[in-house]
């Protein structure tokens, strides 16, 4: 049994579900995480440059597979801010000129496949220790720069203005600010401010409440009641909403194996595979210390790798373990990986029957969710600390930040969904 459990980790906890109290705790925790994951995954998909439903696709089978095949019982896998941000920063640099969103979606699936294969091979070959060699200053510098650039790309949705066509990102950002100064859509800005307010207040005064869900539910109800998404000519406010989301579970699609494109993606896939897993294993180790469970870095790499491979075959994009949702999972009482199975099932139910409830969700709300997420990724304190303690580490972090900022501003263009 122990030998089989090494390859099928869920066998170590599945028998515990016979205990009604454990089963109940996992069901409640799974439902709680799902209430956060559904709106969050849609926002992160847009952060990655994809239509919102692709976040839900990446929150179905990948969540379940990571829980069944990983060694952590409480790690919540799915779309996360840093991986979505890295996806959005990388894919546009290799897209063919004039490529549309269809090509972008294909590339996102290819990237998820490469990330999954890389992680799986690291785990299968017992090379998990390689994570320790990833340069922290480089990660900090890159993440800060990318977070700022991607965050500014949401300004058009916050102010309810058009993003002008431009060759470079800095031209687009300036164009948005000019448009905002002259043509801000007042009710769109009000929706965004309401969403920001709810999330900030919930985080500060009621951290156990799902601030993202509260913001989404409140602004969606307000949007429906005020006819926010109805054109002004038809008696509405003329705001921009999510609209119709295709219902149904993601279909099985074999990723396009264009080896020339994959060659260009290889470095990005390795970067996402390492940085994404660093986030996953950090929270997994913290929870393992709390629950006294055994954690295998190599098995977790296998679980995360299989989750990404599954995502690539079922219309998703690259995923990883989430700090915030894992914290929600364990604080809600999750005992085994079954809680994540419950989360995945609820996402599936949402895709099958509940997407009409999201029709009136303002785009400004999702933009607010994205900005709140990337703000949490902007951390200059580690760069300052490195500069004072290890000057060469500080130089590396600053150089990475500057080079990534310049590269993004002059080469990156915002994807219109």
Distances (CA, A) of 280 to 99, 219, 275, 354, 379: 33, 31, 9, 29, 19
Question: What's the whole-number mean pLDDT along residues 58-83?
Answer: 95
Q: Looking at the predicted structure, is the pLDDT value of residue 394 above 80?
A: no
* Number of alpha helices (DSSP H) and beta strands (DSSP E) in the chain: 18, 2
What's the sign of the alpha-carbon dihedral 342, 345, 347, 349?
A: negative
Higher pLDDT, residue 129 or 17: 17
Q: Looking at the predicted structure, is the pLDDT value of residue 408 above 60?
A: no
Question: What's the whole-number mean pLDDT along residues 161-173?
Answer: 74
Distances (CA, A) of 184 to 76, 157, 367, 370: 38, 10, 15, 20
- Of 62-71, 78-87, 337-346, the poorest mean pLDDT is in 78-87
What's the confidence (pLDDT) of residue 407? 62
Closest to 305 (Cα-Cα) out of 118, 132, 83: 118
Q: Looking at the predicted structure, is the pLDDT value of residue 250 above 50?
A: yes
What's the confidence (pLDDT) of residue 5? 65
Q: Per-residue pLDDT tens for 251-302? A: 999 998 899 999 999 999 998 999 889 878 878 887 888 888 888 999 999 9
Q: Per-residue pLDDT tens for 5-52? A: 677 899 999 999 999 999 999 999 999 999 889 999 999 999 899 999
Question: What's the whole-number mean pLDDT along residues 342-360?
Answer: 96
Higher pLDDT, residue 170 or 104: 104
Distance of CA 125 to the CA centre of its chain: 27
The answer to whether residues 412 and 89 touch, using CB atoms and an 8 Å cutoff, is yes
Q: Confidence class of residue 417 from pLDDT cuts 50, 70 and 90? A: very low
Q: Looking at the predicted structure, is the pLDDT value of residue 133 above 70?
A: no
- What residues contact 186, with CB distance under 8 A and at least 6 apart? none
The answer to whether residues 305 and 87 touch, using CB atoms and an 8 Å cutoff, is no
Burial class (CB in 10 A: 0-12, 13-18, 19+), 166: middle
What's the confidence (pLDDT) of residue 167? 62
What's the confidence (pLDDT) of residue 414? 43
Distance of CA 193 to the CA centre of its chain: 22
Percentage of the chain exceeding pLDDT 90: 56
Which stretch of DSSP H or E encloses residue 254? none
The answer to whether residues 333 and 28 touch, using CB atoms and an 8 Å cutoff, is yes
Could you tell me which residues are beta bridge partners of residue 362?
A: 241
Distances (CA, A) of 183 to 156, 179, 230: 11, 6, 18
Query: DSSP state, 322?
Result: E
Question: What's the whole-number mean pLDDT along residues 234-245?
Answer: 90
Strands, DSSP E only, in 284-408? 320-322
Question: What is the C-alpha separation between 390 and 333, in angstroms, rounded?
Answer: 41
Q: Looking at the predicted structure, is the pLDDT value of residue 150 above 90?
A: no
- How far apart, in Å, do the first and last CA atoms of the chain sit? 49
Question: Which SS3 state, helix, strand or coil, does residue 129 take?
Answer: helix
What's the confidence (pLDDT) of residue 162? 87
What's the confidence (pLDDT) of residue 91? 93
Question: Can you give the residue ranges of every domain in the chain?
Answer: 42-411
Question: What is the C-alpha separation between 137 and 147, in angstroms, rounded?
Answer: 15
Q: What are phi and psi of 284, to 5 degrees?
A: -65, -40
Higher pLDDT, residue 408 or 88: 88
Q: Looking at the predicted structure, is the pLDDT value of residue 90 above 70?
A: yes
Higher pLDDT, residue 314 or 380: 314
What's the confidence (pLDDT) of residue 411? 54
Q: Looking at the predicted structure, is the pLDDT value of residue 351 above 90?
A: yes
Q: What are phi and psi of 164, to 5 degrees?
A: -70, 150
Question: What's the whole-number mean pLDDT along residues 303-328?
Answer: 94
What's the confidence (pLDDT) of residue 415? 43
What's the confidence (pLDDT) of residue 416? 42
Question: What is the C-alpha separation between 276 and 309, in angstroms, rounded?
Answer: 14
């Amino acid at each position: 049994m122990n030998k089989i459990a090494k390859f099928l980790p869920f066998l170590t906890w599945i028998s515990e579900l016979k205990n009604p109290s454990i089963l109940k705790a996992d069901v409640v925790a799974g439902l709680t995480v799902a209430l956060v994951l559904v709106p969050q995954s849609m926002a992160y998909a847009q952060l990655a440059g994809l239509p919102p439903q692709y976040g839900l696709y990446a929150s179905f089978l990948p969540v379940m597979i990571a829980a069944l095949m990983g060694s952590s019982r409480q790690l919540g896998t799915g779309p996360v801010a840093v991986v979505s941000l890295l996806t959005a920063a990388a894919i546009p640099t290799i897209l063919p000129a004039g490529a549309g969103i269809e090509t972008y979606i294909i590339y996102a699936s290819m990237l998820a496949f490469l990330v999954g294969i890389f992680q799986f091979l690291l785990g299968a070959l017992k090379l998990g220790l390689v994570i320790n060699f990833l340069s922290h200053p480089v990660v900090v510098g890159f993440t800060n720069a990318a977070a700022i650039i991607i965050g500014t790309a949401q300004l058009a949705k916050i102010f309810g203005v058009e993003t002008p066509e431009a060759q470079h990102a800095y031209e687009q950002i300036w164009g948005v600010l000019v448009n905002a100064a002259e043509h801000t859509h007042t009710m769109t800005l009000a929706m965004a401010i309401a969403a920001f307010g709810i999330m900030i207040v919930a985080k500060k005064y009621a951290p156990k409440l799902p601030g993202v869900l509260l913001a989404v539910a409140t602004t969606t109800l307000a949007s429906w009641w005020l006819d926010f998404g109805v054109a002004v000519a038809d008696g509405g406010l003329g705001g921009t909403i999510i609209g119709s989301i295709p219902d149904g579970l993601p279909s099985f699609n074999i990723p396009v194996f264009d080896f020339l494109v994959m060659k260009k993606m290889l470095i990005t896939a390795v970067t996402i595979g390492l940085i994404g897993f660093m986030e996953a294993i950090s929270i997994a180790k913290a929870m393992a210390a709390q629950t006294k469970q055994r954690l295998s870095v190599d098995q977790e790499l296998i679980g995360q790798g299989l989750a990404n491979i599954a995502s690539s075959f079922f219309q998703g994009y690259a995923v990883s373990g989430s700090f915030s949702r894992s914290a929600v999972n364990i604080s809600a009482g999750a005992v085994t990986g079954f809680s994540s199975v419950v989360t995945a099932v609820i996402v599936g139910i949402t895709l099958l029957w509940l997407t009409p409830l999201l029709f009136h969700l303002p785009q400004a709300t999702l933009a607010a969710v994205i900005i709140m997420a990337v703000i949490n990724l902007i951390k200059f304190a580690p760069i300052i600390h490195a500069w004072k303690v290890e000057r060469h580490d500080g130089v590396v972090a600053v150089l990475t930040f500057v080079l990534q900022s310049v590269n993004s501003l002059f080469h990156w263009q915002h994807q219109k969904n």
